[in-house]
Structure 1
Amino acid sequence: MAEGYSVLHTSGGYAIVDPDGRVGKARYGNRAGAETRCENLTQALKDGKKKRRPCITCGTKILSDGPHHRMCNPCRTRSDDAPYVFGPRRGRAGVRS
């Protein structure tokens, strides 16, 4: 695969393809906007800001934007879809403070 990102025309607009060949979910209405984003991502990759890191949930290697980006998209989607549930209550039952 070629070094860097590329632009792909789809039925829903223009998409960014990562260096591993995966097509991103974001769609751009015009080619110029997609190419600008593509150039920015490629430059960040060359500058060393992006690197392969393991997903903190499943361990799959992902191309990370930085230390703040540590979950792969499938794990992030599962996390976003999960309902928020309160855990068991701490302390003794019936005791007021």
Structure 2
Amino acid sequence: MTDAERQAKVQELRERVDEVDLELIRALSERAQIVQDLARIKFEAGVPIFDPKREEEILRRVVEQNPGPIYDSSMREIFELILHRIRDLEIQRGEFQR
């Protein structure tokens, strides 16, 4: 592979990474919006918004569906962070406090 070919390939891969990053941003924003809608419904019904069993179910499913190359433990940590940050968003907004 020549230097020019290598540079072109590097650029192509970087552009693909950028596209995937944008997909992740959009997916996380959509997920947060769905969780907000769910929290609103639960709040109005007077049921607990946080469900530790559901969170554990999500984390278990993430590990089961992980095709790699990210290690299962790392993927679980990533999703734990996502779940916690979205929950923090709800707490910071204070919309669902009685």
Structure 1-normalised TM-score? 0.28
More strand per residue: 1
User: Which is helix-richer, 1 or 2?
Assistant: 2
Q: How does the TM-score come out when normalised to structure 2?
A: 0.28
